């Protein structure tokens, strides 16, 4: 039996999210004033508090000039520390292991400077074949920088014939003695598959490799325990599930056992110890924390929206959001019955995303937006991605999406 609109509204009454905290764009088509927004895996919606809190930081500049570094309501000099604790809690890390800085791929490169240490006998990097292109570019450029052939040195993992997702056992099987680095997406951007991070990390270490994770689609989407899982390093962006705005400043994690170690690392003004920074010596004195991987002083007005968003996650809790995400995604999955969904059916193996394989995905995405007010995104050549984000998506949004897709396809 097809779920009804009334039933969807009843579910929203019984299981509300936090849509009231966000600005939802108006619809350009369809019968409803707001869009049904399923593109939070590309760009999250703006929290309503972002504007006023960012303006507060801007006003400190106007009122104080350079003195804002020490005298602003939220002083700029230690501003990045306001984000450290909430970010650490979100990814299951110690504050000393966590830093908010730069953008995602920049952070991956800075971390690979330290953790991709190739030798003639061990220089290969394992990624998934459907990795986001930026990750492919990053690892290929890293192996080329070290003098190796990317076609040989980069191992691209593919699902078994006829399957859409990687099996953990098949990933583990590829971790041979020539692998220097495993760098996978925690949640695959295309299929929405949630990887078995602890098992793969343990297997990578057993094979003698360093294991890092791109958490662009995992941070703020699923619970993480990077410290307990013994992950070597990780990086994530903040503009998808973390709702911090286009190109928002990103995050990085370095496990405690590597802090203070004699690792190669690019350094700059902000990678030296804050206590001695203004002694202005030519030698860096990096702290035994992830702050040592910072290079430049933090961009305050870019950090402000991240701070606002992380406060929401601290208040609501990622475990609570994950529980609602499972319910919401399962409801949408029922509505998409009959379509080819390439995301794993097992809720434990997916995040807040369902990817549908369908011909003409780009044109379908356009029609859903302008005829029905449903925003999903397409990926070439044939994938429509729907992300029911538990903070602001509703069961009624899901009902609208399922109904609209069925009507368009008919």
Taking residues 128-147, report their average pLDDT.
97
Taking residues 252-269, report their average pLDDT.
96
Over the stretch 336-346, which tens digit does the pLDDT of each residue have?
Answer: 999 999 999 99
Strands 22-23 and 46-47: antiparallel
Over the stretch 2-47, which tens digit does the pLDDT of each residue have?
Answer: 689 999 999 999 999 999 999 999 999 889 999 999 999 999 999 9
Question: What are the CB-based long-range contacts (under 8 Å, 24+) for 23-26?
Answer: 23/47, 23/48, 24/392, 25/375
Report the percentage of the chain scoring pLDDT > 90: 98
Domains of the chain: 5-41+317-409 (3.90.1150.10), 55-314 (3.40.640.10)
| Mean pLDDT, the chain, integer | 97
Q: What pLDDT is stored for residue 270 in this prediction?
A: 93
DSSP for 173-236?
A: HT--TTEEEEEEESB-TTT-BBP-HHHHHHHHHHTT-EEEEE-TTTTTTS---TTTTT-SEEEE
Secondary structure element (H or E) that encloses residue 251, with its range: strand 251-254
Q: What pLDDT is stored for residue 410 in this prediction?
A: 85
Q: Which residue has the tokens 């003695």?
A: 177
Strand stretches in 1-76, DSSP E: 22-23, 36-37, 46-47
Output the pTM of the full model. 0.96
* Phi, psi of 167, deg, nearest 5: -90, 140
Q: Under a CB-based contact definition with an 8 Å cutoff, are residues 391 and 312 in contact?
A: yes
* Phi, psi of 6, deg, nearest 5: -60, -40
Q: Is the pLDDT of residue 402 over 60?
A: yes
Secondary structure element (H or E) that encloses residue 384, with its range: strand 383-386
Over the stretch 290-337, which tens digit does the pLDDT of each residue have?
Answer: 999 999 999 999 999 999 999 999 999 999 999 999 999 999 999 999
């Amino acid at each position: 039996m097809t779920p009804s609109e009334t039933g969807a509204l009843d579910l929203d009454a019984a299981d509300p999210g936090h849509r009231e905290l966000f600005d939802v764009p108006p619809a350009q088509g369809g019968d409803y004033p707001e869009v049904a927004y399923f593109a939070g895996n590309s760009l999250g919606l703006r929290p309503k508090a972002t504007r006023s809190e960012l303006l507060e930081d801007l006003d400190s500049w106007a009122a104080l000039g350079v003195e804002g570094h020490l005298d602003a309501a939220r002083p700029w000099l230690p501003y990045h520390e306001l984000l450290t604790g909430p970010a650490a809690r979100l990814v299951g890390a110690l504050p000393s292991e966590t830093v908010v800085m730069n953008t995602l791929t920049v952070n991956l490169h800075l971390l690979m400077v330290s953790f991709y240490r190739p030798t003639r006998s061990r220089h290969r990097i394992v990624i998934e074949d459907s990795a986001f292109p930026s990750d492919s570019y990053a690892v290929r450029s890293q192996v080329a920088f070290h003098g190796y052939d990317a076609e040989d040195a980069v191992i691209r993992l593919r699902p078994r014939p006829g399957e859409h997702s990687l099996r953990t056992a098949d990933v583990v099987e590829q971790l041979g003695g020539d692998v220097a680095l495993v760098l996978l997406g925690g949640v695959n951007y295309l299929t929405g598959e949630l990887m078995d991070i602890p098992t793969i990390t343990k297997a990578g270490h057993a094979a003698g490799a360093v294991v890092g994770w791109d958490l662009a689609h995992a941070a703020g989407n699923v619970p993480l325990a990077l410290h307990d899982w013994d992950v070597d390093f990780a990086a994530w962006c903040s503009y998808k599930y973390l709702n911090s705005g286009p190109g928002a400043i990103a995050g990085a994690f370095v496990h405690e056992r590597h802090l203070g170690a004699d690792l190669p690392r690019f350094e700059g003004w902000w990678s030296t110890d804050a206590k001695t920074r203004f002694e202005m010596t030519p030698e860096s004195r990096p702290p035994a924390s992830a702050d040592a991987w910072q290079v430049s002083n933090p961009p305050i007005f870019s950090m402000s929206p991240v701070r606002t968003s992380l406060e929401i996650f601290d208040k609501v809790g990622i475990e609570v959001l994950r529980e609602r995400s499972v319910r919401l995604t399962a409801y949408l999955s029922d509505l998409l019955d009959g379509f080819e969904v390439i995301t794993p059916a097992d809720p434990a193996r997916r995040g807040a995303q369902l990817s549908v394989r369908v011909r003409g995905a780009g044109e379908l995405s356009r029609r859903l937006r302008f005829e029905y007010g449903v925003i999903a995104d397409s990926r070439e050549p044939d994938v429509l991605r729907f992300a029911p984000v538990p903070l602001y998506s509703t069961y009624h949004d899901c009902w609208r999406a399922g109904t609209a897709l069925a009507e368009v396809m008919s």
